[in-house]
Amino acid sequence: MARLQPHHFQYDNPLILSSTALLLLGLLMVASTSINIAVMQFNEPLYFFWRQLVYIIIALILTVITIQIPLKWWQTTSIPLLFSGMLMLLLVVIPGIGHEVNGSMRWFSLGFMSIQPSEPMKLFMILFVSGYLIRRSHEVQESLSGFVKPMAIVCIITGLLLLEPDYGATVVLFGTVLGMLFLAGVPLRQFTSWIVVVSFALVLLMIIAPYRIQRLTSFMNPWADPFDKGFQLVQALIAIGRGELFGVGLGLSVQKLTYLPEAHTDFLFAILAEEFGLFGVLIVIGLFVFLIHRTFAIALNAERHGMYYAAYIAYGIGLCFAIQTSISMGVNLGLLPTKGLTLPLMSYGGSSMIVNCMMLGFLLRIDYEAKRLKFS
């Protein structure tokens, strides 16, 4: 593998600064939101903070390694990586291999940390689809088969995700791949037809499993059952309402004191709104918008230089960040049903943190290679 050589240009500093700000703010919020539960479970107030710090250090090491690896290597290994990800998704639902938490088999337990296969699967799928769009560009733009083939693979993967079940990862994966195919020039008629098919499938899933309908109706009116099905969302809305303009202050949240479950993971944004108010919410949203803007700017720059594989990776990463961030915030604000998705770069979780940071590493590598091509 070729190592980077010093040049007179730098990496994308705005991307580095915005992602660093989100990482530091997230680490601060993990400490704040988890103190109470850490004391109750481990008698150590900063238990989750120290673990998150270790996850970030591991993630940054892997990010540096990712930056050193040429994109061509990832292109040649994208298919083996895809199949390894599918194998992990299959193994995790086998009793005795997968680790069950709250009724879901989503994790491999390694003792010191748990690995959630759906997280690297998002990255592996982006790498695979990017390579497919290069190899089959003509077929994708002019033939129905060019669209159906990658979607068939997505359906297999989402089928494995639904066995866990992990509906949030399913939505993010579907949305990311559909967005990549659209940007690659899939005819609008085919794209729209598939949206209709997916919508029909989602409706069918709700009919088959009535509890999903109950979850949907409880999201639409959580106050109808505030002590059972609507409890989590009600507590999140109370937290957001208490924040008002500037919040109650760092560490002074009431809802994190056993009222709001998963405060340091799925509902970290609600506690952030309570402690920092609308002002803090707008800052976080602004940081994510800027990060996603830089992601698409890197993609466009790579495309202008004829680096289409790199461009598709960057588009996929940008879509993945945008979709997951929007869903996570939407769930916290009561705009979407609960999906169990973390807020990228901020929520507690090793697998999510490592994969999200590696995605940033890919963006920095793409930016580096585009600049090297420009100055060569």
Per-position pLDDT tens, the chain of length 376: 444 444 455 788 999 999 999 999 999 999 999 999 999 999 999 999 999 999 999 999 999 999 999 999 999 999 999 999 999 999 998 888 887 776 677 878 877 778 899 999 999 999 999 999 999 888 888 887 888 888 899 989 988 998 888 888 988 998 999 999 999 888 877 778 777 877 777 667 666 666 656 666 667 778 777 777 788 899 999 999 999 999 999 999 999 988 898 899 999 999 999 999 999 999 999 999 999 999 999 999 999 999 999 999 999 999 999 999 999 999 999 888 877 789 999 999 999 999 999 999 999 999 999 988 877 6
Please state the domain count of the chain: 2
Yes or no: say if 348 and 354 are a contact pair by the CB < 8 Å rule. Answer: no
183 and 321 in a single domain? The answer is: no
143 and 228 in a single domain? The answer is: no
106 and 42 in a single domain? The answer is: no
In a domain? residue 3: no
357 and 237 in a single domain? The answer is: yes
- For residue 368, count CB atoms less than 10 angstroms from its CB and return exposed for 0-12, middle for 13-18, buried for 19 or more: buried
CA separation for the pair 360, 64 (Å, rounded): 10
266 and 142 in a single domain? The answer is: no
In a domain? residue 147: yes
**Which domain covers residue 242, as residue numbers?**
25-68+222-371
149 and 245 in a single domain? The answer is: no
Q: Which segments of the chain does DSSP mark as H helices, in order? A: 13-42, 47-68, 71-92, 118-135, 137-142, 144-163, 167-183, 188-208, 210-220, 231-243, 268-304, 308-332, 350-375
Instruction: Tell me which amino acid residue 234 is.
Output: V
In a domain? residue 213: no
229 and 315 in a single domain? The answer is: yes
CA separation for the pair 231, 90 (Å, rounded): 33
Tell which of 208, 232, 267 closes a domain. 208
For 360, half-sphere exposure in the C-beta direction (CA atoms, 13 angstrom radius) is 29
165 preceded by a cis bond (ω within 30 of 0): yes
Select from 306, 343, 311 the least CA-distant residue to 326.
Answer: 343
Tell which of 162, 184, 208 closes a domain. 208
In a domain? residue 279: yes
In a domain? residue 9: no
258 and 364 in a single domain? The answer is: yes
What pTM did the predictor assign?
A: 0.92
